[in-house]
Amino acid sequence: MSYTSELPWPVPDERFRHWAGQFADMHDLVRALVIPSGLPQAAESVLTTARELIRMSYYRYDFMMIGAATSVIAIETALTDRYGKGTLASHLRKARADGLLAEEQYDLLDSCGRPIRNRYAHGDLTHAVLTPPLAIGMVRTSITILAKLHSTPHPGTTAASG
């Protein structure tokens, strides 16, 4: 018997069998997650990573939750840049009050996104289950919000001051 230190090639995660019959189907699932041009490079990179984690969840179902959490962390960073120190919960409330988040977006991020982000940040990935539509919806919401945050002036700035 020969020993090799090579990792095995990835195999489809059986938990994904209801959502995609083959990896090529994953392209169709994430096709609508278009990262808009004009975002700061860091935001674009994080959102692209979140999208690709969902696509690769065909091989490791847990990647879906990590992709959704990653997109929420990108929102948290942008909201902290806008509002300063505070919690994700308080920043989400401020963004809703300022009209940056629609009620549906706020509900998704507060009731689902925050707990996922917290579990990921604290290393509790066990028993985290998201369906592809929910994970994709969370990343789509993150894309929409980040595009809006980066196109809306910060409070206290004017068009002339930047």
Q: What is the pLDDT of residue 76?
A: 93
What's the gap between Cα 107 and its chain centre?
Answer: 15
pLDDT at 160 over 50: no
Q: What is the pLDDT of residue 158?
A: 42
pLDDT at 84 over 70: yes
Asked if 70 and 42 touch (Cβ cutoff 8 Å), the reply is no
Q: What is the pLDDT of residue 7?
A: 83
Rounded Cα distance, 110 and 30, in Å: 23
Rounded Cα distance, 64 and 66, in Å: 5
Q: What is the pLDDT of residue 162?
A: 41
pLDDT at 154 over 90: no
* Token pair 């707990």 in the structure block, residue: 115
pTM of the model: 0.84
State mean pLDDT over 19-37.
93
State mean pLDDT over 56-81.
92
Lowest mean pLDDT among 56-60, 87-91, 118-122, 140-144: 118-122
Residue 131's nearest CA partner among 71, 52, 61, 50 is 61
Residue 115's nearest CA partner among 149, 83, 153, 68 is 68
pLDDT at 69 over 70: yes
